[in-house]
Amino acid sequence: MASAVADKEPKIGSNDDLNSISVEPNGEITHEPENGRVEQPKRNVKFTVTPVSDSEHEATAKNDNRPEQPVSFDVLDGDNNDTYNLQNSITALLSSKFRDIQKKLKQYGLESPRFRKRLVSKWESLNYDICENVLYLKERDKHKSKKWVTLRWIHRWVIMFMIGIGTALLAAAIHAIVENLAHLKFELVKDYLDHCAKEGCLYQPVLIWMAINVVVTMAGAALVTFLQPKAAGSGIPFIKSYLNGVKIPGLLTFRAFIAKTVGVVCSILGGLACGKEGPMAHSGSIIAAGLGRGRINFCAGKSCSLYDSFRNDHEIRDFVAGGAASGVSSAFGAPIGGTLFSLEEAASFWNQDLTWRVFFASMIACFGTNFLISSINGHPTKLSAPGLVRFNVFKYDLNFDLIEIPVFIFMAVVGGLLGALFVVLNYKLTVFRQKYLNKNWIKVVEAGVVSVVSAAIAFGLLVGINDCTTEHPSDHHAVTSKLYCKGEGEHNSLSTLFLTTPEGCLKALLHDPYGFHGPVSLVAFVCIFFFMGVWTYGLSVSSGVFIPALAIGAAWGRLVGIGVINMLPDSTHLQIDVGKYALIGAACQLGGILRTTISLTVILVECTGDISFGLPIMIVLMISKWVGDFITTGLYDMNVEVLGMPMLPFDCPPLTEDLRASDIMSQPLYTFKPKETVRNIYSMLQQETFCGFPVIEEDTSTTPRQIKLKGLILRHQLLLLLHKKIFCPPGQVQPRNVKLKDFRDFYPMYMKVEEIEISEEEMDYEMDLKPYYNPTPYTVESIFSLPRVFNLFRGLGLRHLIVVNDKNVPIGMVTRKDLAKFRVGSKRGIVKIEHLNIEDK
Amino acid sequence: MASAVADKEPKIGSNDDLNSISVEPNGEITHEPENGRVEQPKRNVKFTVTPVSDSEHEATAKNDNRPEQPVSFDVLDGDNNDTYNLQNSITALLSSKFRDIQKKLKQYGLESPRFRKRLVSKWESLNYDICENVLYLKERDKHKSKKWVTLRWIHRWVIMFMIGIGTALLAAAIHAIVENLAHLKFELVKDYLDHCAKEGCLYQPVLIWMAINVVVTMAGAALVTFLQPKAAGSGIPFIKSYLNGVKIPGLLTFRAFIAKTVGVVCSILGGLACGKEGPMAHSGSIIAAGLGRGRINFCAGKSCSLYDSFRNDHEIRDFVAGGAASGVSSAFGAPIGGTLFSLEEAASFWNQDLTWRVFFASMIACFGTNFLISSINGHPTKLSAPGLVRFNVFKYDLNFDLIEIPVFIFMAVVGGLLGALFVVLNYKLTVFRQKYLNKNWIKVVEAGVVSVVSAAIAFGLLVGINDCTTEHPSDHHAVTSKLYCKGEGEHNSLSTLFLTTPEGCLKALLHDPYGFHGPVSLVAFVCIFFFMGVWTYGLSVSSGVFIPALAIGAAWGRLVGIGVINMLPDSTHLQIDVGKYALIGAACQLGGILRTTISLTVILVECTGDISFGLPIMIVLMISKWVGDFITTGLYDMNVEVLGMPMLPFDCPPLTEDLRASDIMSQPLYTFKPKETVRNIYSMLQQETFCGFPVIEEDTSTTPRQIKLKGLILRHQLLLLLHKKIFCPPGQVQPRNVKLKDFRDFYPMYMKVEEIEISEEEMDYEMDLKPYYNPTPYTVESIFSLPRVFNLFRGLGLRHLIVVNDKNVPIGMVTRKDLAKFRVGSKRGIVKIEHLNIEDK
């Protein structure tokens, strides 16, 4: 079906969009209908609804069998003449300035804004609701004892423990491999550089350096691109979406694990501006999903299965929450931050017991990582390395004075602006990549190009700036090159930044003594690293954005620190504070780029290891978030938008109370009878892509005939029943040789309907659905308002919500995409509601 | 009605309970029906259900009009012959030993376990659901613009800001008043003591000391007892219940604020073993509720009203979450911990925007407190006091070695056991108080007695032990008395513990040098403070349990530290670590007593100010929680149970899938027609205590007559409509002079039906309910299982859930108490489900 509509899909960024979108002088993006057709009555639209274009409409209609007549949303009335008080404020002034710049940018622009204003129909919901059918009740009767409940409880804790241990082992292994290999590589490069600086054969080490980088990087990129493309990037947008309830096939597989873990080692060894912290969250989640399912699927379709009792979306998602938390916890040594990270997305399902389990897993992961890395460092009982990256080795206590707060606030504003710039540039690049660099081999080559350019620029700066210093770096293991520095004990200060992993670079910027890095080197470093960071994020390699963001911020924070210290008289005693400014700068930059909430704050505070310094960190994170949000969304949100994921926000968008369930539901509804012929079922599954079908019963004895909702049956249940041939000629007794275990074994790799072979004779058999459908699906009446439907859907983690009329007859279905298509944004301080398209892709 | 059934209420603890409960050899508390009547079929009951007694049944039936026939729960089948694997484990051995002890205790026992196995019917639910009736839609149409949404958003943030500032001001004020007055008092006592020790007139200072204590304490107790009894204790159990969704009249009033804040100053000055941290959470909540409502009600029924747009349970509860967080944050300097504290109870309503607001408020509170207290201390720009109590002034870095973990685990087990003992003793005392000390004047006298005894014991120990030391206390402002110490520079070491507030005492135990406190003093201190702590908590005074719990733990932790240091050879360099053990001991003791979750962990870690030491704190908190949970519930949970609050847990109890909505709903259902006579409404409100009535319409045109659910109308809506006389003779047009604002102004002080005067003529008028009822109440079908009903109710924060049959005709109502009466407990490692009584009280 996707291919059938592919030619109708509007070309992104092309000017012949059926519905072009323009920015009007009042700053609102409005919709200009072409061909003289007005699809939506404009009188009542106060907020701007980006309507569904014609071609979209057809695609959608074909996909979800919506009737062709335009669905008339009586969306919201209002008057455009409303003058806002805020219009005359600084806000408005700034935003008009910004608009001008944006307009100019747009003329060179690569894309239309529509690219972010759509949902992709392939993303489905996880199924969090328990199907209490006859099978389930039978199965449960067997295990219905306090003992069983207790054992199940213990089992969950044991798996969480194993998740923590597994994540810790992985973190320690990656850390040891990356650090040792990178150190070797940089030692080699450095010796060669020092040697050749004297001999004048500098092109040799540079070529070797580039060669190593390009080979390793392209290996990593190839691994990701060909084995499992979902392992690209940090994986955090995917994990957040998954925890929010979006089903992402292939995300939590063994292939993704290999691509992610081996890939991240390659990326860092290949000299890309990326960290290994983000991918840890994804890797931890995969470990959790694997342990929860009790099964590993190897490449050749072989699998190794241990136990099956937790094989449903509900349990697996709980484990994945633990895994993501463990990953973050072992990466940053932040058990509380990790817990919050995974719970803030899955929060509609927060409960105390789950929270404890998640916390337990992340504590084990943190503790295990600490122990293992300490052991590798040779002192296993002195626990000194709670995570892969820590900021807490300041040689003095972090303190701050109230008069420093304004400086911090200034830095937060800068961080927010730079962060927004990062996101905007990366967005343009992402769109460019999707348009032009969408072939697998091009992706691999691009990664190679980036690694070559990284090495070339680094070398260029080393030689070009040649900033010599005699001070010792804070880290004794740091690789320093003399290069052209002639003096006794002198070495090139930039070499400690470039001849190390991005993590080492961050540590150097935070902890190196005051005079180590000169302003010129720092400015050059910020510019280069910023653009390399933008370019690297989104490559088809396994890479995290935390560390580069922190390193960029630390560098310009250090610059600010040097500035402040130089401006004040008698400031030699303040020189020790330069690391503090670097830390604040790092926080500002990260906050500006990612904009993530409480969990990020806690992670940074835990990384810093000093609570009393938490306050300024919290303040700058909040301000940089606000400044950034004023311009654009955060990086992860941008990723999610570009992917067209139907993420459900925490609250229903405001001003949507006038929409009724009947306005938003998908229609028409295809239903089954409790006894249905195999032919009907088979052809329905072939023709429709729906994942759930209401089961209705007609009472023919009364007039008018009464239709009664009996339950809801899911596509994958029907597929298994067809596959197991649970049907019989009419009048005979249906075989009952299917158990709950079969459904669980099936999870989550459901077959396609085409793979099931049914003979022509069997087509006329009947299937009794009664033991299998969910007899108590949640329903809403058609007059329910959108907020009430939304709360029900989100609060209960549903996948299907049946809309009934006032006689309890099902008339439609609400799914995740029907709710997610209304998105609220607050652009430049004004709330804005958009109606997204749903695209096949 | 309450008085009508009062004589039928079974006397607690008396032996003539209709249903006596005995502990059988297999450890399960079972129910012995008397009078030869078996109300419940026992065949199927596997877990122990404490059934509703006869008298209870009557009371309940009268209250919720349940028909007299025993409701036959087909609760759960199973077999009692099941032998558990766990039965033969150490668990079982320990638990049988414990049972023997418990049996013996029970012979002297004061109460039957039934006391904790009930819900009190007076507690109602908050109404979190929005009533989208015609009035609401009309009101909203007026404000339906992006501007309004934005302004409302800003308004919420501003109120949160004010909450933070208000809490900070309060915290700083209480801190300054308490610390200065207490210092004055103790200086006075000390001078007198030192003087009289030489002169031999020691009875004089002791009498003065006692006199001050008893007067101040009794003043505080009288304030709480007579002004607002809900201000007693720390208030945290109440706040937790409120955030969980229980409506608690009087909790968030101006009277409670006065009683709480002035009361806590009196309690501490009166020398009780209590802290000012717990009450801060309650005070912060009251500030938040007051600011949210925009109205203060003074004593004489006068009120000062500012704005009304946030006057509904939903908004107020969000603000209270912020207030509670601010209170905790300013008390402990723990903004993250405070945020978690208030969100973990209200978590079914967690959303990112609310989280940010709560976090913002608690950050402001923390920052404000820090600034104000620093200003009071004379250096406003050096922010040095983020909260009222902090542990972070250790003179060295907190570090730990892996080999210390076993010692910490041992301490955690001790803490868990001591904590459980604390809870058990306090529970016995609470029951005793409810039985015998329930008159107001007795309560005040008891507080006086406690304060006298506290002073007497303190003096006895000072003189009796006379432990002299020459070391200086860590705090330069500490009051030290020489008493009988003769040597040059010597002083009584216990005097630093008793001549200070409990907070000062905690600080001394954490930070005083190694040799300062001898083992004998510490043992005496632990014993005395433990029993004074048990006695004090639950008095009718405003008092917190955090600080005494921490102080007890710090004292025995210090003892353990001294023991460990003495056992190791060459340990003088370890002497500095004694404070570390005190800190761990404090954490263990607090974890053992309170058992609160993630938030407590974060609060303690933030208080410590050192993240790397967070790991052992987390470990000991988890272990002490587990050990404590093995024996009894936590202190706050015990309070909640004794109060009979219908707290809803996070998950539905397991093994309840066989219960259907039709089994648990309240019946019969009283309904109204869309046009109802005033007489019907008035008499229904008089006779029934229900808070919500379904509105149904009968369609007489069809046969059989079809009944259709139209909506749900709330008691307080009907009361206002009657009060405003929104009715008319049949056929006329009903007055419409009631607005949403009237309902909001009404909130939350709803009148009683008896206060409304309706003339006999008006009784025959008709009221059209259509514009006022909620047209889209959530409903479930009667075949829904309990877990599904529970998830819906809890997930959406409902107050009423209408149960309909398969024809969509309402047949019953599920409210909070119907769900909360199934409680899960894990006693001694085995899951247990109880069916609680619902009592009038």
Q: Which residues of B touch A383 (CB under 8 A)?
A: 400-402, 615
**Residues in Cβ contact with A778 at an 8 Å cutoff, skipping those fewer than 6 apart:** A129, A792, A796, A798, A801, A802, B788, B792
Which segment of A256-265, A709-718, B5-14, B110-119 scores lowest on mean pLDDT?
B5-14
Any CB–CB contact under 8 A between A144 and chain B?
Answer: yes
A773 and chain B: CB distance < 8 Å anywhere?
Answer: no
Query: Which stretch of A72-86, A378-392, A519-533, A789-803 has the lowest confidence by average pLDDT?
Result: A72-86
* Cβ–Cβ gap A145/B657 under 8 Å: no
Q: Which residues of B touch A591 (CB under 8 A)?
A: none
pLDDT confidence bin for B557, thresholds 50/70/90: very high
Asked if B90 has any chain A CB less than 8 Å from its own CB, the reply is no
Helix runs in B333-469, H state only? 335-345, 352-376, 405-436, 440-465
- Cβ separation A401–B380 shorter than 8 A: no
Identify all chain A residues contacting B370, using CB atoms and an 8 Å cutoff: 615
Confidence of residue B13 (pLDDT cuts 50, 70, 90): very low
Q: Collect all residues of chain A within an 8 Å Cβ-Cβ radius of residue B351.
A: 347, 650-651
- Nearest CB partner across the interface for A788, out of B86, B776, B787: B776
Helix (H) or strand (E) holding B266: helix B254-269
Closest CA to B276 of B363, B373, B160, B172: B172
Q: Minimal CA–CA distance to A691: which of A822, A808, A817? A: A817
Q: Measured between CB atoms, does A128 come within 8 Å of chain B?
A: no
In this prediction, residue B593 has a pLDDT band, given cuts at 50, 70 and 90, of very high
Here the ipTM equals: 0.79
- Is A642 strand, coil or helix? helix
In angstroms, the separation between the Cα of residue B630 and the nearest Cα of chain A is 13
* Full DSSP string of A594-625: H--HHHHHHHHHHHHTBGGGHHHHHHHHHHHH
Q: Quick check: B541 pLDDT over 70?
A: yes
Q: How confident is the model at residue A19 (pLDDT cuts 50, 70, 90)?
A: very low
CB–CB of A588/A561 below 8 Å? no
- In this predicted structure, what is the pLDDT of residue A6? 34
At residue A47, does pLDDT exceed 60?
A: no
CA distance B539 to B698: 56
Q: Is the pLDDT of residue B440 over 50?
A: yes
Cβ(B278)–Cβ(B338) under 8 Å?
no
CA distance, residue A61 to nearest chain B CA (Å): 29
**Buried b vs exposed e over A690-719: b needs ≥16 C-beta within 10 Å?**
bbbbbbbeeeeeeeeeebebbbbbbbbbbb
Please report residues of B whose CB lies closer than 8 A to that of A330: none
The per-residue pLDDT for B417 is 95
Residue range A518-536: mean pLDDT, rounded: 91
Instruction: Determine which of A105-114, A617-626, B377-386, B388-397 has the lowest per-residue pLDDT on average.
Output: A105-114
pLDDT of res. A759 = 86
CA A532, A534, A535, A539 dihedral sign is positive
In sequence order, which residues have a C-beta less than 8 Å from that of residue B383 and are 6 or more positions away? A400, A401, A402, A615, B367, B370, B371, B374
Per DSSP, the residues of B316-358 read HHHHHHHHHHHHHHHHHT-HHHHHHHHHHHSGGG--HHHHHHH
Instruction: Give the closest of B352, B605, B619 to A597, CB-based.
Output: B352
Q: Is B238 helix (H, G, I), strand (E, B) or coil?
A: helix
How much is the pLDDT for B459?
85
Each residue's pLDDT tens digit, A55-102: 333 333 333 433 333 333 333 333 333 333 434 555 566 667 667 766
Tokens of A835: 């109606």
A-chain CB neighbours of B335 within 8 Å are 614-615, 618
Q: pLDDT value at position A446? A: 92
- What is the pLDDT, as a whole number, of residue B16? 35
Q: Per-residue b/e over A48-59, b at no fewer than 16 CB within 10 Å?
A: bbbbbbbbbbeb
C-beta contacts of B31-40 below 8 A and 24+ residues apart: B39/B70, B40/B70, B40/B72, B40/B73, B40/B75
Query: Rounded CA gap, B385 and B397, in Å?
Result: 19
Chain A contact set for B86 (CB, 8 A): 147, 150
> Phi and psi dihedrals of B706, rounded to 5?
-100, 130
- The pLDDT of residue B220 is 93
Please return the burial class of B569, using the count of CB atoms within 10 Å of its CB with bins 0-12, 13-18 and 19+: exposed
Phi, psi of A510, rounded to the nearest 5 degrees: -80, -40
Query: Per the CB < 8 Å rule, is A383 touching B615?
Result: yes
Task: Tell me the DSSP string of B162-203.
Answer: HHHHHHHHHHHHHHHHHHHHHHHHHHHHHHHHHHHHHHT-TH
Would the CB atoms of A655 and B153 count as touching at under 8 Å? Answer: no
Cα B322 to Cα B363: distance, rounded to the nearest angstrom: 10
The per-residue pLDDT for range A640-673, each reduced to its tens digit, is 888 888 888 877 887 777 888 888 888 778 888 8
Q: Which of B147, B614, B778 sits opposite A82 (nearest CB)?
A: B147
Partner-chain contact A336 B807, CB within 8 Å: no
pLDDT tens readout for residues A486-502: 777 788 888 888 888 88
Which of B354, B355, B611 to mutate against chain A (most A CBs within 10 Å)? B611
A149–B655 C-beta distance less than 8 A: yes
Other beta carbons less than 10 A from residue A473's beta carbon: 24
pTM for the full predicted model: 0.81
Residue A737, judged by CB atoms within 10 A of its CB (0-12, 13-18, 19+), counts as exposed
Q: Are B150 and A829 a contacting pair at CB < 8 A?
A: yes
Q: How confident is the model at residue B35 (pLDDT cuts 50, 70, 90)?
A: very low
Look at residues B451, B469, B470 and name the one whose alpha carbon lies nearest to residue B459: B451
What is the pLDDT, as a whole number, of residue A62? 38
Answer whether B348 sits within 8 Å of A353, measured CB to CB. no
Q: How far apart are CA A472 and CA A487, in angstroms?
A: 14
State the helix-helix crossing angle for A440-465 and A203-227, rounded to 10 degrees: 150
Q: Chain A partners of B808 at a C-beta cutoff of 8 Å?
A: 806-808
Q: Which structure tokens are listed for A666?
A: 């998908």
A708, A775, A796 member nearest B792 (Cβ): A796
Q: Which of A328-342, A511-525, A737-751, B652-666 has the lowest mean pLDDT?
A: A737-751
Residue contact B356–A597, C-beta within 8 A: yes
Pick from B47, B608, B612: which is nearest to A146 by CB? B47
Is residue A404 over pLDDT 60?
yes
Q: In terms of pLDDT, which residue wins out, B353 or A396? A: B353
In degrees rounded to 5, what are phi and psi of residue B839? -110, 145
Nearest to A597 among B335, B355, B610 (CB): B355
Residue B155 in contact with partner chain A when CB distance is under 8 A: no
**Residue B250 backbone zone (phi > 0: left; psi -120 to 50: alpha; other: beta):** left
Q: How far is B721 from chain A (nearest CA, A)?
A: 25
pLDDT above 50: residue B807: yes
Residue A388 scores a pLDDT above 80: no
Residue A689: phi and psi, rounded to 5, are -105, 5
Rounded distance between C-alpha atoms, residue A695 and residue A676, angstroms: 10
Long-range CB pairs of A35-42 (<8 Å, 24+ gap) are: A39/A70, A40/A70, A40/A72, A40/A73, A40/A75, A41/A72, A41/A74
Q: Which residues of A touch B703 (CB under 8 A)?
A: none
Cα–Cα distance between B839 and B821 in angstroms, integer? 11
In whole angstroms, what is the distance from residue A4 CA to residue B547 CA?
70
Q: What is the largest CA-CA distance in chain A?
A: 104
- Choose the weakest-confidence range: A666-675, A735-744, B621-630, B802-811: A735-744
Instruction: Inspect the interface and report whether the beta carbons of B598 and A356 lie closer than 8 Å.
Output: yes
* More confident: B306 or A770: A770
Would you call B657 and A140 a contact, using CB atoms and an 8 Å cutoff?
yes
What sections of A477-577 are H helices per DSSP? 495-498, 502-511, 519-536, 546-567
The predicted pLDDT at position A683 comes to 87
Nearest to B402 among A381, A781, A806 (CB): A381
Q: How far apart are CA A554 and CA A544, in angstroms?
A: 17
pLDDT digits 0-9 by tens, B757-801? 888 888 888 888 888 888 888 888 888 888 889 888 888 888 889
Whether pLDDT at B840 is above 60: yes
Nearest to A831 among B82, B150, B351 (CB): B150
Instruction: Test A146 with B370 for CB contact under 8 angstroms.
Output: no
Residues on chain A touching B380 (C-beta within 8 angstroms): 402
A402 chain-B contacts, CB cut-off 8 A: 371, 380-383
CA of B310: how far to CAs of A131, A787, B263, B276, B288, in Å? 39, 18, 30, 30, 12
Question: Binning pLDDT at 50, 70 and 90, where does residue B201 land?
Answer: confident
Chain B stretch 457-476, residues whose beta carbon is closer than 8 A to a beta carbon of chain A: none
% of chain B at pLDDT higher than 70: 80
* Chain B residues touching A653 at Cβ < 8 A: none
Contact call for A783 and B776, based on CB within 8 A: yes
Band (pLDDT 50/70/90 cuts) for residue A831 is low
pLDDT classification of A556: cutoffs 50, 70, 90: very high
**Per-residue pLDDT tens over the stretch B317-372:** 889 999 999 999 999 888 888 888 887 766 555 677 788 889 889 988 988 998 89
Residues 531-590 of A with CB under 8 A from B: none
What are the tens digits of pLDDT across the range B133-186? Answer: 877 877 777 766 777 777 888 888 999 999 999 999 999 999 999 989 998 988
Query: Which among A409, A302, A448, A356 is positioned nearest to A157, based on CA atoms?
Result: A356
Q: What is the pLDDT of residues B732-743, one digit of tens each?
A: 888 877 877 777
Tell if the CB–CB gap between B791 and A796 is shorter than 8 Å.
yes
**Residue A52 confidence (pLDDT) above 70:** no
Q: How far apart are CA B11 and CA B431, in angstroms?
A: 12
CB pairs under 8 A between A and B: 242
Which residues on chain B are in Cβ contact (under 8 Å) with A400? 383
- Establish if B146 touches chain A: CB-CB under 8 angstroms: yes
